[in-house]
Structure 1
Amino acid sequence: MGAAMNPPSMSEAKTSSSRRKGRVQLLLILLGVIGPMVLATGMYKLQFWVPEGRSYHGELIGNGQTLADLGVQAKEDRWQLLVTAPKACSVDCQQLVYLARQIQIGLGRDASRASHALSAAQPLSSDYEAKLAREYPQLKRYPMDLTTFSKATGDQAVPQLWIIDPHGNLVLRYGPTVKGKDLLNDLRHLLKLSNIG
């Protein structure tokens, strides 16, 4: 009975206090590591605290689609401005091809990090073919599988301009009314942030 009444010794009290401190420190470390991941996952899944503003002008393609998903078979190790024409390459398409070339030139010292290309589902007119050969010597040309393209884009019949990263991933999409300054700013921003290409 006397042994049960004895208070804990000083060493036992220090050990108990040290264990409590250790547990609190471990808990704080775990919260510091796991907490941000749980918060980020919750923000992504539940779409809360997501900023409304954006710094780009095109439509962001964030679903992992690649050039192959567009029905375009191409291999490029640089950033690419690709114009797609699911129908005849008429005025809107030709304007986007011109714009893609001007944007690449407008990159200045970074021009070698990008290329411009055209993928058309239908043959081009002989006049436009001659113009491309004469005025667009660096324009890359790729065939298009129209069935695959239609599945990926929801059967959009209008020409579009795409920014594609050096791994072939679709990054941004623009319609025929895109402003050259907006497109140039977007591409410059991507090149600034990117270590590839």
Structure 2
Amino acid sequence: MAIAFFMYYTGMLSPSSTVNNGELIKSQTLSQWKLQYQNKAWQQSNQWQILHTQPLQCQSEACTNWSSTLPNLVKLLGKDSDRVVLLEVGKQKSMLQTSKLSELGEAVWIVDPLGNLVMRYSPELTPKQLLKDLKKLLKVSGIG
């Protein structure tokens, strides 16, 4: 028991690498974003969510790539596609909006059904990397 205690608190024999592609997010919830849709508070669904934040008009190659690929990515989940909803956060009226948009930057986020931010993907990463992570999350998750 003393050895286990020592190993836990020193980090000895902890994995030095991870298999996820996106950046893991700790202790943040979607409610902190105070999302609105058409000037009304937005109610979160009980599904996994992919949120694409776009502070400016989507003009970069990476942004347009993500925007065009994400709808197809959800379809690639097959039987799990009904567990995931795709949402865009930006300045256009057809999108969800938040006052924190400039802080969030251009990115793609995975949010669990409980509203916890799970992972963040910078524009440089690919939708294929997100798909790989999302499939793993859906496989091991009992929620949503």
TM-score (norm 1): 0.61
Following TM superposition, by how much is the alpha carbon of 1:74 offset from its aligned partner in structure 2, in angstroms?
4.1
Contact 1:78 1:115 in 2 (8 A): yes
Contact 2:53 2:107 in 1 (8 A): yes
Amino acid at match of 1:107: L
1:68 is matched with: 31
Following TM superposition, by how much is the alpha carbon of 1:175 offset from its aligned partner in structure 2, in angstroms?
1.0
In structure 2, distance between residues paired with 1:99 and 1:74: 25
Following TM superposition, by how much is the alpha carbon of 1:156 offset from its aligned partner in structure 2, in angstroms?
5.2
1:55 is matched with: 19
1:105 is matched with: 75
CA gap 1:39/1:74 in 2 versus in 1, 3 angstroms: farther
Following TM superposition, by how much is the alpha carbon of 1:176 offset from its aligned partner in structure 2, in angstroms?
1.1
Following TM superposition, by how much is the alpha carbon of 1:52 offset from its aligned partner in structure 2, in angstroms?
1.1
Q: Does 1:160 align with 2:114?
A: no
1:175 is matched with: 122
When Rg is computed on C-alpha atoms for both structures, the one with the higher figure is 1
1:7 is matched with: none
When you count strand as a share of all residues, which structure comes out higher?
2
| 1:74-106 superposed Cα distances (whole Å, 9 cap, x missing partner) | 411111110011233334433322222121011
Contact 1:74 1:142 in 2 (8 A): no
Higher deviation after alignment, 63-72 or 106-115: 63-72
Following TM superposition, by how much is the alpha carbon of 1:39 offset from its aligned partner in structure 2, in angstroms?
2.3
- Identity of aligned pairs, percent? 31
Following TM superposition, by how much is the alpha carbon of 1:179 offset from its aligned partner in structure 2, in angstroms?
1.7
When you count helix as a share of all residues, which structure comes out higher?
1
SS at the partner of 1:143? coil
What is the number of residues matched between the two proteins? 137
SS at the partner of 1:76? coil
In structure 2, distance between residues paired with 1:145 and 1:194: 31
CA gap 1:51/1:95 in 2 versus in 1, 3 angstroms: same
SS at the partner of 2:12? coil
Contact 2:66 2:127 in 1 (8 A): no
In structure 2, distance between residues paired with 1:156 and 1:118: 13
SS at the partner of 2:68? helix
1:138 is matched with: none
Give the unaligned 5+ runs of structure 1. 1-30, 130-140
In structure 2, distance between residues paired with 1:177 and 1:74: 30
SS at the partner of 2:45? coil
